[in-house]
Structure 1
Amino acid sequence: MTSSCAAASIRCDRGRAAPGENPLASAPRARRIHGGGWCEAYFGTLGRRRTVGIGRIGRVALGVAAWVSAAGGAAARAGEAPSLKVGDPAPALHVSKWINGEPVETFEKGTVYVIECWATWCGPCRASIPHVSDLQAKMKDRKVVVIGLNVWERDTSRVEPFVKQMGEKMNYRVALDAVGAGGKGKSAAAWLEAAGQDGIPCAFIVDRETRIAWIGHPMSMDKVLEEVAAGTFDAAKHAAAAAERKALEQRLAEAAQKRDPDAILEVLDAMEAKDPALAVQLSLIRFEVLFKMKKDLDAAYAHARKMSATLWKEDGMALNNVAWVILDTPDVARRDLDLALEMAVAANRLTKSENAAVMDTLARAHFEKGAVGKAIEIVEAALKKTDNEELTKHLTASLARYRERQRQAK
């Protein structure tokens, strides 16, 4: 995984699920709708994401073991030189069918294009769609054209119904990759593989001279797109910053390979100093390194309390994620259940008691604290908030367990 697309957001890695299988509906444990190994998070590291319906994100646990493995892979690939780079002419699009919007046969000078590579099975791709739609709506009068390029799709018959279901929430052009010999996507090869990108979502910005201006995660492209559209984008400055970021990522990969938590924490400090916008993501990684790798529970809990009052204060998903790690990580010498409950309560308040996965975390926190009746009440309500089959099964199993505990206590 190259760094540009991984920074600040989660991505799905290619080829980690069986053909036709939706990775988001599979799990090594009922707890995780998404197991470590499919999604990459934060600078090429693997994470786990729980997705509840389109765009409704549940919890993320970074999965240190998988993260270390992925970081090692990133280090091994660091010397590979991509054939498609920033500044190169944009390659042609190979499209089998235009699903949404007017076809784009060729890139015209004077227009800015965003080629956003995605797939229906990729949870982070689906979570990015509303943001990409907002950008298209914002930039539509400035000769900016967004194209959602569907790639690596295991069952292309799913694409059109998916786009139709999204409706106005997916208000940009959507195209299906053309498949060549051996079932290989032509556009995926010309864009993603040529640029050394092996994860999605991944966006390419094509400037008004039809050259690649930027390659990155669609959740991170707002400022760059604005500058490219305005003609103020400084490619040299961006390239220098990218080189510095790559050097830090290499240091992170090396520290992860050695399983050296202190070295990892040192690099995280340097990354945050270089890019304060990544503070929330890096703070989540810091917690997990302290909690799982270093097993410094006092430091981990102190960090979580500080972040809960600052960076995570209005971030329901961050609060929920960390609460779940505290509650569900096996073999923890001392769980701060009061902290987990405080964070789960805050997360549920921020999500207005509408996110079933967050409610599940809250129920678990009450259960672990001995408030079994309260846990049952919350799970019963959560079941009414989701139509996700996997989450429904998990909630049903939890409800049975809680009721059994209640029965035994009588």
Structure 2
Amino acid sequence: MVLRMESPAPPIKVENWLRGEPLTSFQPGKVYIVEFWATWCGPCTAVMPHLVQLQEKYKDSGLELLGVAAYEQAPTADEARTSLDAWLTDKFSNLNFRIGFDSTGEMNKLWMDPSFSVGIPTSFVVDRDGRIAFVGFPTQLDDVLPKILNGSWRTSDEAKAADTERIDSGRREMREMKRKRALIEPILAKLQPAMESEDWAKALSTVEEAVAVMPDDLRFRALHAELLLHKLRNLQTGLPVLRQFARDAIDKNDEQWMEWALRQLFDPANDNSHFPSAERLAMGKELSEHILALNPPQGDGGFKYLSYGTVAQYYYESGNKDRAIELIEVALNSLGGPEPIPDELKQDVMSTLVEALANYKGEKACYGTVCATPQDGFPTASKRRQRSKQQKEG
């Protein structure tokens, strides 16, 4: 059964209520927002202050908001629940809405799967008669919620068209996800043991198989270049692969793609001495300039801390030490931006950036309580940055 506008709202079945009183049923006359989120999801945590504001603004109109943490990552459910509780205490000690915890997958089966919702954050709005009025991103609530509260939304052509498009889009995304999963799982089954045994030739043939069927999968494209250039040190084949990777990244105008391409050239954890110097610097210049144009230092674009470290390394190696220092400082300052960052990610990235800053300045550098001193050569901090980025993507 498809969960869509006008459908009766499913029940709430969570294991624990970590904040607020338990909700046993939707009360007639009230409007509910059921928000699926996770602490590791940047967009989810970034929108929480706004959800707090919505609850406060519309509480007298009968709004009740509840967050459903159904995606927490930990070895056990008890550890996930404990970590979530600590996170809420630290980040939102005065939270004004309920938080339910579910590690069983029951809430996904009841809400997310039948609505064709494939990612978080996802907001479900339950109308005053207990029926679904809206499913979508929480950023859309500013426009939709007042119309739901005054009763005009569900009867509007806008609502019907939006719901139809949402379901059609969700079905397409789910089909694509299933297709990719069917392709990826057997590839990963061969790739993982090859990587663990450092059988780079076997890993390369497996990755090339993956790239052939999934050319837009960033992870496989980056690993293809890394294996050729840094594990097998095969410039004859690797450089054309990297050139195409960089060109595709620029054509996509995608900051993450560009940073991952740039990292193949300027990751200080790698020995890059075998690259042709002129081409390496030329490619680095083009990729770096595109990243800075897309997410300029003076702009308010988020996640500078994830891409600026690699861009700074290009400028440092090209002889512009002052620019490299400036970009590292911008990246560090971005860690204190409006988007909440998981503590482990924040500390990991901060350590990486401060280490780079100390190396660039040639003297001890500190940011907050984190300090570093210059070292001979660069530490393998950029590998930690890659792991941190993968955690963020979830």
TM-score, normalised with respect to structure 2: 0.54
Match in the other structure for 2:324: 375
Measure, in 1, the Cα distance between the counterparts of 2:152 and 2:90: 37
The structure with the greater share of residues assigned to strand is 1
Any idea what SS the aligned residue of 1:147 has? Answer: strand
Match in the other structure for 2:85: 160
Any idea what SS the aligned residue of 1:335 has? Answer: helix
Measure, in 2, the Cα distance between the counterparts of 1:98 and 1:406: 49
Measure, in 2, the Cα distance between the counterparts of 1:368 and 1:147: 50
Q: CA deviation at 1:114?
A: 0.8
Query: 1:158 and 1:203, CA in 2 relative to 1: closer, same or farther beyond 3 A?
Result: same
2:120 is equivalent to residue 231 of structure 1? no
Measure, in 2, the Cα distance between the counterparts of 1:170 and 1:111: 20
Where relative contact order (Cα < 8 A, 6+ residues apart) is larger, the structure is 1
Match in the other structure for 1:241: 165
Measure, in 2, the Cα distance between the counterparts of 1:141 and 1:193: 32
User: Structure 2: which 5+ runs fail to align?
Assistant: 75-79, 184-211, 217-240, 266-274, 336-342, 363-373, 378-394
User: Structure 1: which 5+ runs fail to align?
Assistant: 1-81, 263-290, 305-317
Structure 1 segment 177-326 matched on structure 2, within 5 A: 177=102, 184-233=104-153, 234=156, 235-242=159-166, 245=169, 297=247, 324=259
RMSD between aligned residues: 4.6
Q: 65, 75, 79: which is aligned to 1:146? A: 65
Measure, in 1, the Cα distance between the counterparts of 2:39 and 2:20: 18
2:254 is equivalent to residue 335 of structure 1? no
CA contact (8 A) 2:118 2:170 kept: no
Match in the other structure for 2:347: 389
CA contact (8 A) 1:344 1:358 kept: no
Greater shift after overlay, 225-234 or 382-391? 382-391
Any idea what SS the aligned residue of 2:283 has? Answer: coil
Measure, in 1, the Cα distance between the counterparts of 2:119 and 2:354: 33
2:40 is equivalent to residue 121 of structure 1? yes
Matched residue type, 1:110: G
Measure, in 2, the Cα distance between the counterparts of 1:216 and 1:145: 17
Q: 174, 198, 206: which is aligned to 2:99? A: 174
Match in the other structure for 2:199: none
Q: CA deviation at 1:84?
A: 3.4
Measure, in 2, the Cα distance between the counterparts of 1:227 and 1:292: 50
* Residue-by-residue CA offset, 1:69-103 (whole Å, 9 max, x unaligned): xxxxxxxxxxxxx5534322112212343333344
Measure, in 2, the Cα distance between the counterparts of 1:248 and 1:186: 23
Task: Provide the aligned length of Structure 1 versus Structure 2.
Answer: 279
* Residue-by-residue CA offset, 1:129-159 (whole Å, 9 max, x unaligned): 2232233233333222111112133311112
Measure, in 1, the Cα distance between the counterparts of 2:59 and 2:242: 46
CA contact (8 A) 2:309 2:353 kept: yes
Structure 1 segment 42-121 matched on structure 2, within 5 A: 82-121=1-40
Q: CA deviation at 1:348?
A: 2.0
CA contact (8 A) 1:112 1:205 kept: yes
| Greater C-alpha radius of gyration | 2
CA contact (8 A) 1:323 1:344 kept: no
* Residue-by-residue CA offset, 1:370-397 (whole Å, 9 max, x unaligned): 2124424653675587572220343245
Matched residue type, 1:207: D
Measure, in 1, the Cα distance between the counterparts of 2:168 and 2:106: 32
Measure, in 1, the Cα distance between the counterparts of 2:302 and 2:116: 41
* Residue-by-residue CA offset, 1:189-242 (whole Å, 9 max, x unaligned): 322244344533222111111011222232334333232222121343333433
Match in the other structure for 2:232: none
The structure with the greater share of residues assigned to helix is 2
2:356 is equivalent to residue 398 of structure 1? yes
CA contact (8 A) 2:259 2:307 kept: no
Greater shift after overlay, 323-332 or 165-174? 323-332
CA contact (8 A) 1:130 1:169 kept: no
Greater shift after overlay, 241-250 or 358-367? 241-250
Any idea what SS the aligned residue of 1:348 has? Answer: coil
Query: 1:228 and 1:382, CA in 2 relative to 1: closer, same or farther beyond 3 A?
Result: closer
Structure 1 segment 353-372 matched on structure 2, within 5 A: 356-357=305-306, 360=309, 363-364=312-313, 366-367=315-316, 369-372=318-321
CA contact (8 A) 1:327 1:337 kept: no
Could you tell me the percent identity over the aligned residues?
28
Matched residue type, 1:398: A
Query: 1:159 and 1:243, CA in 2 relative to 1: closer, same or farther beyond 3 A?
Result: closer
